[in-house]
Amino acid sequence: MLHLDTGNTGFMILCTSLVMLMTPGLAFFYGGLVGRKNVLAIMMQSFVSMGWTTVIWYFYGFSLCFSGDWHGIIGNFHDVCLRGIGLSTASPNDTIPMMVFVAYQMMFAIITPALISGAFTNRVTFKAYMVFLTGWLTLVYFPFVHMVWGGGMLQQWGVRDFAGGIVVHNIAGIAALASVLYVGRRRSRDTGPHSIPLVALGTGLLWFGWYGFNAGSEMRVDSVTATAFLNTDVAASFAAIAWLLVAWAHQKKPKFLGLLTGAVAGLATITPAAGYVSPATAVIIGVAAGVVCYYAVELKNKLQWDDALDVWGVHGVGGFLGIVLLGLFADQRFNPSGANGLLHGDASFFYKQLVAVLFSSAWAFVFTYGMLKTINLFTPVKVELASEEAGLDESLHGEHAYEEF
C-alpha cells in the first residue's frame, strides 16, 4: 500500500535524473580517452544503452529483477511490460511510487553494461555489441540485481551492497577482463587519449551523478542518506589525491589524467559501502582505492592485457575491494539496518562478503567469455583490420567527430 511522501518521492526523482546523467558523463569520459577516429563509436556504445536497455527493462528486465523468485537466482515474468503497476503501487519503500523505483533502477541497468565498452574500444563490431548488450543484461546483470537487491539468495544470506559494488562495478569490471582476453589486443595503434578536457568533463558529470547513485540508494531522505552523500565525496577526493601522489612518484610529474582516474576509482570503491560506514572509514577506503587500483592498472600493463580504458583496474578491482572493505568496516552505528564488519565483531559478515564477490567475479567472467564465443558463431565480434586502421567512426558508422576526418 502506497503511503506517498512527497519529499522522498521528489528526492528520488532527482536522484534518478542524476544517475541518468552519468551515462552521458561516461560517454564523454571514454570519448576523451580514445583516439580521434574512434570517438563517436565509443560514445555511441554508451548512448545506445540509454535506448536499448530501457526497451529491455520495460519488456522484461524489471520483472526478472524484482518480480517473484526462481531458486534465489532470478525473478519471473509477472511484471512484464510493467503489467499491474499503477498509480497506487508502492515500491519496496512504501513512501515512493513503484513508477519512481522502476525508473531509478533502470538508470543503473543502463550504465552498467556501458562501463564494459571501455575495455574493448576500437575492436568490436556494433552488431555484436548490441547482441552482447542484450545477453549480458539478461544473463549477468539481471540475476545479480535479483540476488543482491531483489530478495534473492545473496540478500537472504545477509550480503550487503549499498549501491552496486557487486551489482554494478565488480561484474562489469570482470566482464571487461573476460572481453579483453577474448577479443585480444588492438592491431592498429591508438593515439588516445585525444582530449583530456573531455575526460575531465566526463569525470565531473560522473562525480555529480554519483551522489544520486549512492545517496539515492537509501531510497528515502534520512541521516543515512546524508552519510552516504558525504562518504561518496570523501572517498573520491582521497582516492584522487592518493592516485595522483603514487603516479607522481613513479612518473616524476603530476598528471591530470591520474587525478581524474583516481577519483573514479574512489567513487567505484565506496559505492557498496557508502551507506554502511563512517566518514573516517570512507577516508581509508578512498586511499586504498587510489593506491590499489593504480597498481592494478600497472599490473595490467605488465601483463599486456589490452584493457584500453582500465575498466578492470578501476571498476572490477574497485568493486571487489569495496565489498571486502565493507566486510571489514561495516558499522551499525552509522546504519542500524546494515551490519557489523569483522573489525566490529562479526567475522561471518566478512566471509559472506568475500564469498559473494568471488562468486560474482566467477559468474561474470564465465558468462561473458562464453557469451562472446557464442555470439561470434553467428556474427563477427572483432572488427576487420582495415576497419580498425580506418577507425570505427568511419568504418562502422560513416560519421566523424572532427572535420579533418
pLDDT at 363 over 80: yes
In a domain, 308, yes or no: yes
For residue 44, the model assigns a pLDDT of 97
pLDDT at 405 over 70: no
Per-residue pLDDT tens for 344-356?
Answer: 999 999 999 999 9
In a domain, 143, yes or no: yes
* Cβ atoms of residues 169 and 322 within 8 Å: yes
Per-residue pLDDT tens for 81-115?
Answer: 999 899 999 999 999 999 999 999 999 999 999 99
In a domain, 405, yes or no: no
How far is the CA of 185 from the CAs of 123, 173, 383, in angstroms?
A: 8, 17, 12
pLDDT at 76 over 90: yes
In a domain, 65, yes or no: yes
Structural domain total, the chain = 1
Per-residue pLDDT tens for 187-218?
Answer: 888 777 999 999 999 999 999 999 999 999 99
Mean pLDDT, the chain, integer? 96
Amino acid found at 289: A
In a domain, 403, yes or no: no
For residue 89, the model assigns a pLDDT of 94
Per-residue pLDDT tens for 222-233?
Answer: 999 999 999 999
Provide the residue range defining the domain that includes 314: 6-397
Mean pLDDT of 60-79: 97
State the CATH number of the domain containing residue 121.
Answer: 1.10.3430.10
In a domain, 291, yes or no: yes
Per-residue pLDDT tens for 142-195?
Answer: 999 999 999 999 999 999 999 999 999 999 999 999 999 999 999 888 777 999
In a domain, 341, yes or no: yes
For residue 98, the model assigns a pLDDT of 97
% residues pLDDT > 90 (the chain): 96
For residue 191, the model assigns a pLDDT of 78
pLDDT at 35 over 80: yes
pLDDT at 403 over 90: no
In a domain, 242, yes or no: yes
pLDDT at 404 over 90: no
pLDDT at 45 over 60: yes
